Amino acid sequence: MVQQNNEFSIIRQYFNASTRTPRKDVALAIGDDCAITEIKANQRLAITTDTLVEGIHFFSDIDPADLAYKAVAVNLSDLAAMGAEPAWISLALTLPKVDHRWLATFSRSFFEILDHYNVDLIGGDTTKGPLSISITAHGLLPRDKALCRHGAEKGDWIYVTGSLGDSAAGLALLQQKRGQNTDTALSQAETYLIERHLRPVPRVLFGQSIAPYASAAIDISDGLLADLSHILQRSAVSASLKLDKLPLSPQLIAVFGVEKAEQFALAGGEDYELCFTVADKNCAKLERELTHIGVDYTCIGQIRSQNANKMIRLKRGAEKVALPDVQGFEHF
* Cα distance between residue 72 and residue 315, in whole Å: 36
Residues in the chain: 332
Task: Give long-range contacts, CB 8 A cutoff, 24+ apart: 4-13.
Answer: 5/98, 7/126, 7/127, 10/98, 10/103, 10/126, 11/126, 13/103
Q: Does residue 270 have a known ligand-binding role?
A: yes
Is 37 annotated for ligand binding? no
207 burial type by CB count under 10 A (0-12 exposed, 13-18 middle, 19+ buried)? buried
- 204 class by beta-carbon count within 10 Å (0-12 exposed, 13-18 middle, 19+ buried): buried
Instruction: Tell me how far, at minimum, the Cβ of 113 lies from a second copy, in Å.
Output: 18
- The 3-state DSSP class for residue 241 equals strand
The stretch among 136-144, 175-183, 283-291, 313-321 that binds a second copy (CB under 8 A) is: 136-144
Distance (Å, rounded) from C-alpha 54 to C-alpha 34? 28
Stretch that binds a second copy, among 81-89, 110-118, 187-195, 259-267 (CB under 8 A): 81-89
Q: Which of 57, 70, 203, 242 binds a second copy (CB under 8 A)?
A: 57
The identity of residue 115, as a single letter, is: D
- Is position 141 an interface residue for a second copy (rule: CB under 8 A)? yes
Residue 87 found at the interface with a second copy (CB under 8 A) = no
Please report how close the Cβ of residue 78 comes to a second copy at its closest, in angstroms: 4
Using the rule CB under 8 A, which residue among 3, 18, 112, 130 binds a second copy? 130
Nearer to a second copy, 217 or 303 (CB): 217
Q: Site for a second copy (CB under 8 A): which residue of 55, 250, 257, 324?
A: 55
Q: Is 50 annotated as a binding residue?
A: yes
Pick from 134, 238, 277, 282 the residue near a second copy by CB under 8 A. 134
What does the alpha-carbon distance between residue 57 and residue 67 come to, in Å, rounded to a whole number? 10
**In terms of Cα–Cα distance, which of 12, 6, 26, 7 is closest to 89?**
26
Residues in the site for a second copy, rule: CB under 8 A?
A: 5-7, 10, 27-28, 31-39, 41, 44-51, 53-57, 78-79, 81-82, 84, 88, 90-92, 94-95, 97-98, 122-125, 127-130, 132, 134, 136, 138-139, 141, 143, 146-150, 217-219, 234, 330-332
